[in-house]
Each structure stands twice: as structure tokens, then as C-alpha cells.
Structure 1
Amino acid sequence: MQSLRSCRVAGLAIFAVLFSQFSSPLLYAGGGFFRNGAVGGVAIDASGVLSQPTVEATQSLVKAMQGRMTDVPAEAAQSTEMRKISLRQINAAIEASATKEVRDLPDEIKYLAGIQRIKYVFLYPERNDIVLAGPGEGWTLDQAGNVVGETSGQPVCLLEDLIVALRSSEMARQGGISCSIDPRPEGVVAMRNYLEGKTYQPQVLDGIAQSLGDQMITVTGVPQTSHLARVLVAADYRMKRIAMGLEDSPIADLASFLSMMQNSRVRLTNMMPRWWLATDYAPLSKSEDGLAWELRGQGVKAMTEDSFMDANGVAQQAGQANPIAQQWADDMTKHFEALSKQEAIFGQLRNAMDMCVIAALIQNEDMLATVGCELPMIYQSTGAEIEVLNAPKSVGTQCSVMKRGRDYIITASGGVSVDSWQAATTSQVSPRLSSVRSQVEYKPEGFWWN
């Protein structure tokens, strides 16, 4: 294994993370509203550079969104554990709408009637319909411009994410869905050259950030310009900032990785802790007749593995994990539910993962053929029009410092991995689900009901 000993800065462990200055999150064109700063507290400019918006920009965003939102219907404002969404009726509503642009559809449709997590899939061949169900309530905006439940604060599921997940299911089958943020190999080599023979001085940190340069953002499996892609990137970005102590954890039980290292005697190695968020489902439950399905499990877990940089600056897996990095990943997983209530982006990530699993399930089980239904507005690119956001391409580097012996570690990689097809193709029969479906009254009027 290539040693990083030549890159040491005496007395320091240096952690490279992701940072850039503010760029405007709002663009207006032809009356359209483009949310280039409405996801996870990040903005992405026309060049693809990810940044954090200022407080003023976020407030402007919230004000603009509030001006577009309509009152929540009284029935939709009621909290329920089983809100039902008809895919056939959503398709019909889009088809009947004066606009095919999702952003201009009524709030009820855009926000899927306030459903906060899709837990069930029910098939109705006699109605030529597939119904999605889960907890729901009325919706509002949080301080960052996320659409969340009025009482729970959990983000609602978005029609545009569901459409992207359904349209991308075949691409996901072939190669999965993922995002990653990684240092450029030439930047790693330049950083090594910069550090040769240096001892620590405060200005060294600026030199490290400058030599390492921008880091690459890669998205696969879904359109890079989609809101769903933005969710993947923003969740990874927020996770790293919390891990590296660049922002306070919103929950007391999740300390930063840096503080955990400071309070431990674990020796730093010349490797790079790497975290990523991955799907985490128990086997799906299904009825004996295959007309009812249930997603089970938390849905998301944090994982870690050490990596090291080879002579060309390319990250290589080390096959083991720093025990403190592993502990931090375990804590992130353990407290994910509480975290998602405080940081909407993590709830949005789980919603996105759920929808990707459901999209794979519908395709794998050939559910559209089973119910005799076509959904051209939802599935076809000539149907509902998804808003095109700026594609994330790069993010700058900021250093956070912790003294520990003579070694340093660079944590500049990680990402999100959505293995939707693995989750969708693992199931077990549960007789209980037949009774659950039988208790769900199908209502042909409207596209949702409690």
C-alpha cells in the first residue's frame, strides 16, 4: 500500500471538506421558478459549482415560494397513517391540466397530497390502478424552503422525484443510482508536492485547499439536472459537514467525527475515512396474490471504509475502517430518524430512496401489465415536464484541523449509493398484507384520499 508518510505535516491531522462561497439560488425565466438553492441548504450556479446560500438568499427563496403556495385543503390537512395516492388519477390530472410542467401543477399534485413516506403499494386490476400509501398530513415551508409536514416537520414526497424515479428505473437496473464527491487526482498530487518538507503554519491550510482545488461531483443513474440528483448531492454534503465539525450537529446524540477522535486514543493512519449513505431495507413484505406490498426497514444507513491515495492521486479502497469512523457511521445510522426530523435533506433522501425502490418494484413485477394501466404522463419524456436545475459538477475545499501526533488524514470522498433493484427483488410473503389491502377503501373520485 502506498504510504502517505511523505505528506506529513508535523503535529496535525488535516481534514479536507467541501466549501464554496454563495451563489444566487433563484433564477426567474418566462415566469418559471427555478430552485437552484432550495435543497439541503445548498446552491448550484450555472457553472455547476456547489455552495451555501446566505441567510438573505434563503429568506428570499422562502418568501418567493410562499407567494406561490395555495391553502392546504381541509381534508388534506388531517393527519393520517394511511394516505392513498392513485397513479392512474395523477396521470389523468396531469393530462387534463392546462400545463404539463410539474412546477406549475396544483400544490396537491406537486406535493402528492402531503404524503411523507410511501410504505405500501396496492394493485387494483379491477380499477386499472396502482395505489401508493403511507403517512400524510398538511404541508408548509420550513425556514430553508423545504416543503414539510405541518406538525411533524418531515419532508413530503414530491411528484417530480417520483416521476424521475419511475423514468430512471431501467437505468438504475443497469448501473444503480449514486453520487460521489471526490478530489481530483491531479489535485492530490499537487497537494503532496506542496506539503513536501513543510511544518505547520496557519497559512499551510490555505495552501492545502488551494493546491487540492475543486473536487468533482459525479451523479449516475438519474438525470444530473433533476431535483432527485440534487437531493443525493446535498445529503452527502450535509453529512460531511456534520462529520467534520464544520457545522453543529442538529441532535445532541450525534457528535462530530473530529470530536470523537479528540476524545479517543485511536491512532490515526495514513488513510482517508470515507463515508457514504446507502439503502437499508428489510425484505419487502408481499401478499400471497402479489397485490399488496410493504417497504420495511429504516431505508438509509451510513457506511465507511478507509481509503488511501496511490502515487497518481487516485483513491484506493483499503478494505478496513478506522474504528472511530465506523462508530460515527453507526451513530449516524442509529440516529437517522431523529436527524431527518431536524435536517429535512435526510428525510428527502429517504423519500427518494423509497421511490427508487418502488420504481424498481413496479418494473420488476410488471405491475402496469398486471393492472392493465398505462401512465404516459408519468413515464414518458413527452409527458409531464420536469424542471431542469443546474447540474452539480464541483465544490471547493476547506480544511478543518485537529492535532494528533504527526499524521494527517484527508476526508474528501464519499457519496450516496441507491441499490434500488437489490431491495426491490428481495421479498417474503406476509398474509397480513391481504387484510391491510382489504381494509383500504378504493375511491375513484380524485387522486388521493385518507
Structure 2
Amino acid sequence: MASRFSKWTWAGAIVLALLSLFSEPTMAQVATTGAGGVFVDAQGVLRARQTADKARSRKLAALRKRRGRDAEVIAFVSLPRLFREVKGRVDAGEAIPEEMAFLDGMTRLQYVFVFPEEKDLVIAGPREPLDSPESGRAIGEQSGRPTLRLDDLVTALRTVGPGKENTNYGCSLDLPPNAIPRIQQAAGRIGAVRRGRGYGRVMQAIAQACGPQEVRFFGIDADTPTAFTMIEADYILKQLNLGLMRSPVSKVKSRFALLRRGESLYSRVWFTPDYDSLIVAPEGDAYELRGQGLRVLASDSPTGRSNSSGPSAEAFAKQFTEHFPEMEAAIPVLADLRNVTDLGVLAALIGTDRLHEKAEWDLRWILDPSGYPVPKTPVPTTAATLANAKLAGRSLLLSVGGVNLSPGRVVEQDRQEAPLADFPVKPSRPSEETQWSMLGE
């Protein structure tokens, strides 16, 4: 069988299928998104479910068509006052209102303002009326972009905020030990893969040979919504990389579409922060995040320790990065990951520049795990392997990767001083003591 197989060329690709389960952590949960879905079987293994929420996809498409027609409204949110309101609700055993849970519909974090005399710390960014939250994700009515989440902000503060030495966190989808020899042995047993026939047999054999794959989180509590956002986004990245999901942006080609003869066995692709700069006013009381927030990197090393990558992996990462704004506009979880990254930078900035001390904001209740109750989410420990195969020059391709966020590095290395007059939005804050948010132009 091995000799018959060697007469033909094919490429297999391994991905992990992990999507978000924003609900109670039961083993029978099923989650779907516009890009597909997953289910957890009786043994607790995550498996892919290739279904599509067509109604939601049509809704997002309609929202994208009208994007830009509505005037942008900026929301200013006082963090000390917001958390006072939240604490009051928690202490009273009351539910957190949607406008608090989703930061008044703020769809992107752009500015941070400190008011030492008023003892206030304010964040600002574009705001839209809330669409109905679905599975823990609320979107703006005008753009379809996900909003910031209170749960993600609290998680960021507890992960890289004041008093935290951790500077790096994320997730990784890796091949299990000894997977490559098992896959190669399976390939030798498959026999010839003829054009247009046999791909299903190849994919099934590779998946079985690889076996369940471990899911790894680092630097962050794995049972948080933030962690699930990272895993979900990474899974989507793998699907796009391997051509298992059609790219919504025609200029972003899969690695399979770009594949060249004789490339490396490995392809590791992952998300990492990407900002043009963190603009800082000379007085240290105003900040602006500039840039798209995320990029994709690639390496031929299975561990990602080498920066070298083959032509197809490098081209995929470059195209994805260049068109990330379009990709996140079409795939909500990518915008969610951008929001998570922005909030990580905010938390690191508060800790590094001691903004909470300037505003005399007591964070003890927020930083205490027994304080604000971040909802628990299911933690996948293994995932079923997916495989894809095609004729491609006598090589077996494996795709791994993850999300690697280092917000402290952004705060320290991407700073650029600029006068307050250069800020597109001027410092402002809610005026009433009982008010925690306000709208500006």
C-alpha cells in the first residue's frame, strides 16, 4: 500500500475545532455561529458541527451594507462609577443590566482619560444601540460589530492589571505527542489518492491517527469568556488557513490555495497585537489607541520559536493582516478578539501608569476573584481532529497555532507622545455623580 501511495501526491492539514459556548457548562451544549459550530459528545470531546446560522449571516450582511451611513457617536464611560453601580447590583443580588454588561454599547476602545481632581478614569469609543445579545455576544445595531464586555474588562484587570506580573497570555492548539509518526504511518496505509476521489478516506484516516488533541491556555483563567473568545477566534483562523472555511474577503487566500511544492511539514499561524502606536499626552492624562489591534504571524516551526515560514504560510499571514479590518467586519469573533486585546492593553496601562491611583479608584473588589462574579464557561481539554487533503506535491501539511497577547509590551514599546490638541476626541466625562456614561459627538 505504501508503494501505491507514493505514486500520488496529497497534502493533509490538521486543525482543532473549538468554538465558543457562552452558556451553562453542561456536556450536552451545542454552540453555533455564522461560521459553523461545535458540539461536546458524551465523552467530553469537542467536535465540529458544520452548520450555518443563515438568518444571522443575512443580518450581518445587511448591517455591513449600511455601515458608515450613520454618524458616529462616542460614548464616555466612567469606570469608577460604573463599578460602583455594578457592585451595588451584585451586593443586592440583582442582575447586571445589559447596558452595563456591554459597556453602554461601546464597540471599540479608543481613548482613556484621567481626571485626577475629579477622581475619575474614563474610557471612550464608538457607541451604537444594542442589538439583542445572542450567546453572550451583543452587537451594535448599525454595524453588527460586537460590543465591549464587562466580563472581559474584569478578566483583563485580574490578568495583567495592577499588581500583576504576568505580561503574556493566550491559548494554543498543538499537535499531541508522537502525532507525526502516527500520521505518516496512516498515510502509508491509505494507498493512492486519485483526483476527485478518496479525500474523505484520507481525512478520516489522518484524524483517527492523530487522535484527540490537547487544548492549552496560558497566563489566564481558562474558564472565562475571554479564554473562549481566543479559542474560537483561533479555530476560525485555522479553518481559513486550511481552506476549510471560505474567506469572506476575496483577497485573503487560504494556505492551501497558495501552497507551493516542497514546503515545510509545519505551518504555525497565530494572532498577536498590532498597534501603530499608543498616543500619550505630555501630562499623562490622555491616551489614544491607534491601529488595527491584531495581526497574524506564521512560522514553519511547530513551536513557533522560529520566525522563518514558507511562502504559502507567509503569504496567508500577510494577506490576513493587511485585510484584518475587512475580516473582522465579516466575522464577529475576530472583532471580539480585537476588543479583548484592547481591554488587555487598557488593564496593562492602568497598572503600568498607575491610573487607578491618579483617579483614587479602589480596585480591590474588582481584582478579588470573590468580588465581581465573572461567569464560568466550559473548559475544553481535548478536541477531535479535523483533516483536509488535496493533491499538492508530495508533502503533508500540519497547521497549529494560537493566540499570544502581550499587552504590557504594547504599553511599554509603542508609546508616542503627542499634544492633546492632536487628539481627535477631547477629554470629557459624565457630569452627574450618579451617571456613569454619557454620549458625545
Question: How far has the Cα of 1:388 moved from its partner?
Answer: 0.4
Match of 1:381 in 2: 369
Match of 1:163 in 2: 154
The 5 A counterparts of 1:63-78 are none
Question: How far has the Cα of 1:182 moved from its partner?
Answer: 0.7
Going from structure 1 to structure 2, the CA distance change for 1:247 and 1:319 (only over 3 Å counts) comes to closer
TM-score with structure 2 setting the length? 0.83
Match of 2:67 in 1: none
Going from structure 1 to structure 2, the CA distance change for 1:13 and 1:105 (only over 3 Å counts) comes to same
- Distance in 2, matches of 1:423 and 1:437, equals 22
Match of 1:285 in 2: 279
Task: Choose the corresponding residue for 2:139, options 121, 143, 148.
Answer: 148
The 5 A counterparts of 1:197-216 are 199-201=191-193, 202=198, 203-216=201-214
- Distance in 1, matches of 2:138 and 2:373, equals 20
Q: Which runs of 5+ in 2 are unaligned?
A: 58-69
Does the residue aligned with 1:338 lie in a helix, a strand or coil? Answer: helix
Q: Tell me the amino acid that sits aligned with residue 390 of structure 1.
A: P
- Distance in 1, matches of 2:123 and 2:244, equals 39
- Distance in 1, matches of 2:354 and 2:427, equals 24
Match of 2:174 in 1: 182
The 5 A counterparts of 1:196-345 are 196=188, 199-201=191-193, 202=198, 203-261=201-259, 266-307=260-301, 317=305, 319-345=307-333
Q: Judge conservation of contact 1:85–1:131 (CA < 8 Å) in 2.
A: yes
Task: Choose the corresponding residue for 1:105, options 96, 113, 130.
Answer: 96
Q: Judge conservation of contact 1:128–1:371 (CA < 8 Å) in 2.
A: yes
- Distance in 1, matches of 2:428 and 2:372, equals 28
Question: How far has the Cα of 1:336 moved from its partner?
Answer: 0.8
Task: Choose the corresponding residue for 1:348, options 330, 336, 342.
Answer: 336
TM-score with structure 1 setting the length? 0.82
Task: Choose the corresponding residue for 2:385, options 392, 397, 403.
Answer: 397
Question: How far has the Cα of 1:52 moved from its partner?
Answer: 4.1
Superposed CA deviations along residues 373-411 of structure 1, whole A, max 9, x for unmatched, are: 113443222221011000122221122112122222222
Does the residue aligned with 2:276 lie in a helix, a strand or coil? Answer: strand
Q: Judge conservation of contact 2:77–2:123 (CA < 8 Å) in 1.
A: yes
Going from structure 1 to structure 2, the CA distance change for 1:286 and 1:98 (only over 3 Å counts) comes to closer
141-150 or 333-342, larger mean C-alpha shift: 141-150
- Distance in 2, matches of 1:35 and 1:138, equals 30
Task: Choose the corresponding residue for 1:447, options 426, 432, 436.
Answer: 436
- Distance in 2, matches of 1:205 and 1:36, equals 24
- Distance in 1, matches of 2:423 and 2:20, equals 52
Number of aligned residues: 411
Going from structure 1 to structure 2, the CA distance change for 1:36 and 1:420 (only over 3 Å counts) comes to farther
- Distance in 2, matches of 1:356 and 1:107, equals 22
Question: For the aligned residues, what is the CA RMSD?
Answer: 3.3
Q: Determine whether 1:134 maps to 2:125.
A: yes
Q: Determine whether 1:50 maps to 2:46.
A: yes
Going from structure 1 to structure 2, the CA distance change for 1:100 and 1:207 (only over 3 Å counts) comes to farther
Q: Judge conservation of contact 1:79–1:138 (CA < 8 Å) in 2.
A: no
Superposed CA deviations along residues 354-388 of structure 1, whole A, max 9, x for unmatched, are: 00011000000111111111134432222210110
Going from structure 1 to structure 2, the CA distance change for 1:321 and 1:28 (only over 3 Å counts) comes to closer
- Distance in 2, matches of 1:285 and 1:316, equals 30
Match of 2:395 in 1: 407
Going from structure 1 to structure 2, the CA distance change for 1:60 and 1:221 (only over 3 Å counts) comes to farther
Question: How far has the Cα of 1:18 moved from its partner?
Answer: 2.8
234-243 or 194-203, larger mean C-alpha shift: 194-203
Q: Tell me the amino acid that sits aligned with residue 280 of structure 1.
A: D
Question: How far has the Cα of 1:19 moved from its partner?
Answer: 4.0
Q: Percent identity between the aligned chains?
A: 25
Does the residue aligned with 1:374 lie in a helix, a strand or coil? Answer: coil
Does the residue aligned with 1:378 lie in a helix, a strand or coil? Answer: helix
- Distance in 2, matches of 1:54 and 1:205, equals 15
- Distance in 2, matches of 1:432 and 1:42, equals 46
Question: How far has the Cα of 1:54 moved from its partner?
Answer: 6.9
Q: Judge conservation of contact 2:113–2:427 (CA < 8 Å) in 1.
A: no
Question: How far has the Cα of 1:420 moved from its partner?
Answer: 0.5
Q: Judge conservation of contact 2:79–2:121 (CA < 8 Å) in 1.
A: yes
Q: Which runs of 5+ in 1 are unaligned?
A: 1-6, 63-77, 309-314
Superposed CA deviations along residues 114-165 of structure 1, whole A, max 9, x for unmatched, are: 0011111101112211101011111114887731110111110000001100
Q: Judge conservation of contact 1:25–1:43 (CA < 8 Å) in 2.
A: no
